[in-house]
Structure 1
């Protein structure tokens, strides 16, 4: 629920709004009894914030043009204009409307101020006395600026005519949707007299003033929006149709209230309720309230912020407490599980301790034995899979070769014949030197002997010897092995053998000759023991 105080210069009206619905409206006269009742009303609010809306004759508007400046220079020029137009007033406000870019850059300002600030004094003193948070003091013409767009006028200049009290008629002039002038005109014919003629005459006077000030041209069409009650609606409607100078739009106050979806109990004769609803529902900048008038509002904001922070802190504390409780519950569960696990291990330990065999071996020696066994398992218990796969992959590159036998041994000498033998095989001198023929001590070698023959051999020994040389070169260049040696070739070309070589000739059932080209290759690779 929002509360607004509406002041017309004589009577104070306190309204309570719930959205677009008016819940209550209380009037306070400017006498001793009315001020006492107003003080009691403010006390009953219990420091709830209020907003003050002014509709005063003693409010003036001035349009000025100043150089386009920023900071303190701009404020100094504005202060000089305040002193010029509102010398004795502390309630004044300046709003920038547009920037003029013809020639040098200039800024158009609307200056507004109260010429009789004593009217507010008794009411503001009670607001301060009751410590009521005052959010701001608003000007009704500035609030009405927000309604201009709803009239959807095509004309540049719009005059909004409204009546909030029986004795005064307000005319607010808007140019391109911006307020440039607003004045209250005394009118005595609201209840009896030629009310329609008085309204039209005042509008024509406003037009002449605008033309004389060169705000508009004489030929410009002015849109006139009149908010009136049921009593004067028909007469104003007929009168406006006879006028061809202005573009009139006569709106019934109660119809406009329904259009704005404002909920009221009874029909209205005046349009003040429209502007009060606008001031409650929408956010407007503070126009006249100074720091002394708003200090309790700042206290209210601080208190509200403290409460919100307290709620957030409380919620955070509850959240942290919940997390701590959950962690504590999980900790208790884990402690229980660890205790059960401890009991299990203690039981197993006791059982093993009862079954243990007494030994004279010290723990250090036992540790060394275990480490030695682990080292033997990891280092010296080799599998032939890796070496066999490596050799098979290299030989598979040559499709004409068929492997009949692979023999893998593990020895500590590069020239060993059998596994774990120190006997060195006698080798015949060869023209081609294999890699790394020197005897290696304290090392471990994998030795693979590959035996096979050539498929579909047709007796071309030159091709067979070339193929075996290619295999030897390929395996040597691959840098996978420490030694690659051909023990047997399809045609024995050693100096100690005859040229016929070792060629097997067999006769099949048909009497044809079957020739075979057999070979044997020996491959050696050092085992990486991983010992520094």
Structure 2
């Protein structure tokens, strides 16, 4: 099936007949020859019907092919394409088979574009065959010229001179194509003049062409023209011995079978021994016989077809549809392969997941059996799980809400760091828990008291209890500096009171400043009171 998709039809058209070839598995088979008559067209229609929807490549070798060189203003983009299209229509009004090739820019003046306009000036030689392919919905990939195909032949022959005249023997006659710097400039077909004739005929035709090229200023006086003659293998030796080089003409005879390495040439240019006989076809016996050069160009066209040299018109729509169909087919194959790969991956993942699930289920059964065996040896308990959960919850609550002094002492420590003049003397911390005081049962002196049960508030259940801290400190200051001592104490008390949920009460001042207390002593007299500058604060913090 894939071989049928890659198979091609190759048609070689001359002024009086069409040669039909088939390309499959890298081999060119045929030809079937159809004359340019009503009967030949009918036979060609039957031939197309028998070949199905294989893509077709049409190679033309006609005398009525014109080449015109013009200089056009250098305009790029869409405007340039429109300019060349208008000029092309003016140049060739009577044929749809026309095209333009930009071949660089002129080196003089305003550096205009050098454009080669070429066309098949007699469309009646080609239109019947194209209409037949359109009628049979044959995918026409392109219409090609043997003159323009000469560029690929020179590339294979490794001819890289500036002025080259390629001479080939085609089924329609002798074709001479002139290349300047690798670009086609001119081509002519001499009908009925074989290269196999006298060497003098080859030299005469070359001389005429060289004179014409000089007259149209393609060749200058003193330019050397390299004539590359592509000959059939049986004629190459005779031509090499007969031609003579001149001062401005150098011949090079190239045999068709030496253009490519021998391992490829045999398959590339080999034609099947028995021509394929289509319905009404005449095989290779009717009309002109295809030469090895024709086979070379057809094989090159089948292997690496360039873009169409001439427009295919409506007949090319079936080729575009064929490419869309081929793209859809290739996309469906890719999607199908991806679907198969995805399905295989899913099946493999399912098998792996099932094996893992069975292993986990087996492990679960093992642990459950071990757990049941362990629990069977223990005495039955009531709500053991609920009790353990409750104990864990109580433990976490006590750790979080219990009356621990660390947090309150930490806040006092932070305040002391901000008050370097305050020196801590003593701390007395307690939690304000509503508990039971010591009770004397008989009130007898010396009788032992009973302690009431501890409240759950002492453990922080259900809320954290209030905490109090009695702080005794002194102010480090010079003697009798009462204003500074009082200020440092007040600043320290205010910093403590600024803590979140903290209240501060001054229990004892550094000195007694009550208005009803009698003053004593002398100002400036040193004192030996050890409690001077000491104060006491009661701090209450509600978590």
> Same fold by TM (over 0.5)?
yes
Alpha-carbon spacing, 1:92–1:339, altered in 2? closer, same or farther (3 Å): same
Of residues 315, 321, 325, the one that matches 1:293 is: 315
Alpha-carbon spacing, 1:277–1:185, altered in 2? closer, same or farther (3 Å): same
Counterpart secondary structure, 2:54? coil
Alpha-carbon spacing, 1:85–1:196, altered in 2? closer, same or farther (3 Å): farther
1:281: how far off?
1.9
* Distance in 1 of aligned mates of 2:313 and 2:16: 25
Of residues 228, 239, 249, the one that matches 1:225 is: 228
| Structure 2 residue 60 is matched with structure 1 residue 71 | no
Maintained 8 Å contact 2:174/2:194: no
Alpha-carbon spacing, 1:293–1:239, altered in 2? closer, same or farther (3 Å): same
Alpha-carbon spacing, 1:330–1:240, altered in 2? closer, same or farther (3 Å): closer
* Distance in 2 of aligned mates of 1:223 and 1:83: 34
Alpha-carbon spacing, 1:206–1:331, altered in 2? closer, same or farther (3 Å): same
Deviation per CA, 1:45-103: give whole Å up to 9, x if none.
22111211111111111111211212332123212321232111111111221133544
| Structure 2 residue 215 is matched with structure 1 residue 212 | yes
* Distance in 2 of aligned mates of 1:36 and 1:436: 127
Which runs of 5 or more residues in structure 2 are unaligned? Answer: 1-6, 274-288, 410-420, 432-466, 468-541
| Structure 2 residue 62 is matched with structure 1 residue 56 | yes
Q: Where do residues 425-444 of structure 1 align in structure 2 (5 Å cutoff)?
A: 437-441=426-430
Maintained 8 Å contact 1:171/1:184: yes
Maintained 8 Å contact 2:257/2:265: no
Q: 2:333 aligns to what?
A: 311
Of residues 179, 198, 219, the one that matches 1:174 is: 179
Maintained 8 Å contact 1:230/1:269: no
Q: 1:246 aligns to what?
A: 249
Q: Where do residues 386-425 of structure 1 align in structure 2 (5 Å cutoff)?
A: none
* Distance in 1 of aligned mates of 2:223 and 2:318: 48
| Structure 2 residue 147 is matched with structure 1 residue 141 | yes
| Structure 2 residue 328 is matched with structure 1 residue 323 | no
1:147: how far off?
2.0
1:441: how far off?
4.2
1:242: how far off?
5.9
* Distance in 2 of aligned mates of 1:158 and 1:436: 115
1:321: how far off?
2.5
Alpha-carbon spacing, 1:371–1:60, altered in 2? closer, same or farther (3 Å): same
Alpha-carbon spacing, 1:214–1:349, altered in 2? closer, same or farther (3 Å): same
Counterpart secondary structure, 2:22? strand
Alpha-carbon spacing, 1:231–1:195, altered in 2? closer, same or farther (3 Å): farther
Alpha-carbon spacing, 1:275–1:355, altered in 2? closer, same or farther (3 Å): same
TM-score when normalising by structure 2 = 0.63
Maintained 8 Å contact 2:178/2:187: yes
1:251: how far off?
2.8
Higher RCO by CA contacts (8 Å cutoff, separation 6 or greater): 2
Alpha-carbon spacing, 1:154–1:13, altered in 2? closer, same or farther (3 Å): closer
Maintained 8 Å contact 1:253/1:269: no
Deviation per CA, 1:472-526: give whole Å up to 9, x if none.
xxxxxxxxxxxxxxxxxxxxxxxxxxxxxxxxxxxxxxxxxxxxxxxxxxxxxxx
Aligned length: 399
Which runs of 5 or more residues in structure 1 are unaligned? Answer: 381-409, 415-431, 444-530
* Distance in 1 of aligned mates of 2:154 and 2:385: 104
Q: Does 316-325 or 290-299 show the bigger shift?
A: 316-325
1:261: how far off?
1.5
TM-score when normalising by structure 1 = 0.64
* Distance in 2 of aligned mates of 1:211 and 1:412: 110
Counterpart secondary structure, 1:271? helix
Counterpart secondary structure, 1:273? helix
